[in-house]
Chain A
Amino acid sequence: MDWLVITDHGSVTHAKIGVEKVNPDIREARDAHEDTLVFQGLEWNIPAAEHGTVFVHPGRHEVSVLKQFETDYDGSVKGAGDSTPANEALAVAGLSFLADQVKRRKVKDALMLANHPARKGIDSPHEIRAWRDATSRGHQIAVGFEGAPGHQAAGLPKPLGMGRARGIYDGSPGANSFPGYPLESYRTWGGFDWMTATVGGLWDSLIAEGRPWWITANSDSHQVYADTAARGGGDFNANGRYDDPVYAGRIDVTQGDFWPGQYSRTHVGSDGFSYGAVMDGIRAGRIWVDHGQLISGLDVRVSGGGRWATLGGALHVRKGTRVTLSMDVALAGGPNWAGFTPKLARVDVIQGDVTGTVADKDTFTAPTARVVKSYEVNKDTGTVRLTYDLGRVDHPVYLRTRGTDGNRSAVGALGAKVDPAGPAIDVVGDADPWRDLWFYSNPVWILPS
Chain B
Amino acid sequence: MTPLSAHYAIGIDTDATTLREADRLLQGLAAELGLPEDVFGCTHLVRDGRPRVALSLAAEAVAAEPVLRTARDRLTAQGYEVRDGAPDEAGRAVLYPGVSALTGTLTLAELLARSAIDRVTVLGTPDEPAPDARLVTREHVRPQWRNGHLVLAAMPAAGGTLVPFEDPDPTPCCADH
Binding site for B on A (CB under 8 A): 9, 45, 51, 76, 82-85, 120, 151, 157, 163-165, 168, 170-177, 179, 183-184, 186-187, 189, 220, 222-223, 410-411, 413, 415, 424-425, 427-430
With CB as the reference atom, state the residue of chain B lying closest to A231: B176
Which B residues touch A76, using CB under 8 A?
174
Which A residues touch B155, using CB under 8 A?
187, 425, 427-428
Which B residues touch A220, using CB under 8 A?
177
- Asked, given contacts A170-B167, A170-B170, A170-B171, whether A429 binds B157 with beta carbons under 8 Å apart, the answer is yes
Contact B126 A411 (CB under 8 A): yes
The 10 closest A-B pairs by CB, nearest first: A425-B124, A175-B51, A430-B158, A170-B167, A170-B170, A172-B166, A176-B51, A427-B156, A175-B45, A429-B158
Contact A83 B47 (CB under 8 A): yes
With CB as the reference atom, state the residue of chain B lying closest to A431: B158
B82, CB-defined interface residue at 8 Å: no
B18, CB-defined interface residue at 8 Å: yes
With CB as the reference atom, state the residue of chain B lying closest to A165: B167
With CB as the reference atom, state the residue of chain B lying closest to A83: B51
Contact B124 A175 (CB under 8 A): no
Contact A430 B157 (CB under 8 A): yes
How far is B53's CA from A429's CA once the two chains are assembled, in angstroms? 28
Residue from B17, B159, B166, B171 whose CB has the most chain A CB atoms within 10 Å: B171
Q: Which of B82-126 contact A (CB under 8 A)?
A: 123-126
B64, CB-defined interface residue at 8 Å: no
With CB as the reference atom, state the residue of chain A lying closest to B52: A175
How far is B175's CA from A51's CA once the two chains are assembled, in angstroms? 12
Residue from A82, A170, A173 within 8 A of B45 (CB atoms): A173
Give how many A-B residue pairs fall within 8 Å (CB-CB).
89
Which A residues touch B165, using CB under 8 A?
172, 183, 186
CB distance from A5 to the nearest CB of B (A): 16
How far is B60's CA from A60's CA once the two chains are assembled, in angstroms? 69
Contact A85 B49 (CB under 8 A): yes
Contact A120 B173 (CB under 8 A): yes
Contact A157 B46 (CB under 8 A): no
How far is B166's CA from A84's CA once the two chains are assembled, in angstroms? 25
- Asked, given contacts A171-B170, A427-B157, A429-B157, whether A184 binds B124 with beta carbons under 8 Å apart, the answer is yes
Which A residues touch B52, using CB under 8 A?
175
Which A residues touch B158, using CB under 8 A?
157, 163, 427, 429-430
* Apart from the given pairs A84-B50, A174-B53, A425-B155, 20 other A-B contacts in the complex at a CB distance below 8 Å: A84-B51, A85-B49, A163-B158, A174-B18, A175-B51, A176-B51, A177-B45, A179-B45, A179-B47, A183-B153, A183-B165, A184-B123, A187-B123, A187-B155, A222-B176, A411-B125, A411-B126, A413-B124, A425-B124, A429-B158
Range of interface residues on B (Cβ < 8 Å): 20 to 34
Q: What does the 1/0 interface line of B140-177 toward A look like (CB < 8 Å)? A: 00000000000001011111000101110011011011
- Asked, given contacts A83-B51, A183-B165, A425-B155, whether A174 binds B45 with beta carbons under 8 Å apart, the answer is yes
How far is B157's CA from A51's CA once the two chains are assembled, in angstroms? 28
- Asked, given contacts A83-B51, A84-B51, A428-B157, whether A164 binds B171 with beta carbons under 8 Å apart, the answer is yes
- Asked, given contacts A174-B19, A411-B126, whether A45 binds B46 with beta carbons under 8 Å apart, the answer is no
How far is B126's CA from A424's CA once the two chains are assembled, in angstroms? 12
Which B residues touch A415, using CB under 8 A?
126
List, sorted by A's number, 7 A–B pairs whose CB atoms are closer than 8 Å.
A120-B173, A157-B158, A168-B171, A172-B165, A174-B18, A413-B124, A427-B158
How far is B175's CA from A76's CA once the two chains are assembled, in angstroms? 12
Contact A172 B19 (CB under 8 A): yes
How far is B171's CA from A186's CA once the two chains are assembled, in angstroms? 13
How far is B171's CA from A220's CA once the two chains are assembled, in angstroms? 15
Contact B174 A9 (CB under 8 A): yes
Residue from B47, B124, B157 whose CB has the most chain A CB atoms within 10 Å: B124
Contact A222 B167 (CB under 8 A): no
Contact A175 B123 (CB under 8 A): no
How far is B46's CA from A163's CA once the two chains are assembled, in angstroms? 32
Which A residues touch B156, using CB under 8 A?
425, 427
Contact A175 B166 (CB under 8 A): no
Which B residues touch A165, using CB under 8 A?
167
Q: Which of B26-52 contact A (CB under 8 A)?
A: 45-47, 49-52
Which B residues touch A424, using CB under 8 A?
124
With CB as the reference atom, state the residue of chain B lying closest to A256: B177
Which B residues touch A177, using CB under 8 A?
45
Which A residues touch B167, using CB under 8 A?
165, 170-172, 428
How far is B48's CA from A85's CA once the two chains are assembled, in angstroms? 11
How far is B165's CA from A168's CA once the two chains are assembled, in angstroms? 14
How far is B170's CA from A189's CA once the two chains are assembled, in angstroms? 18
Residue from B19, B124, B159 within 8 A of A410 (CB atoms): B124
How far is B163's CA from A186's CA once the two chains are assembled, in angstroms? 15
Which A residues touch B170, using CB under 8 A?
170-172
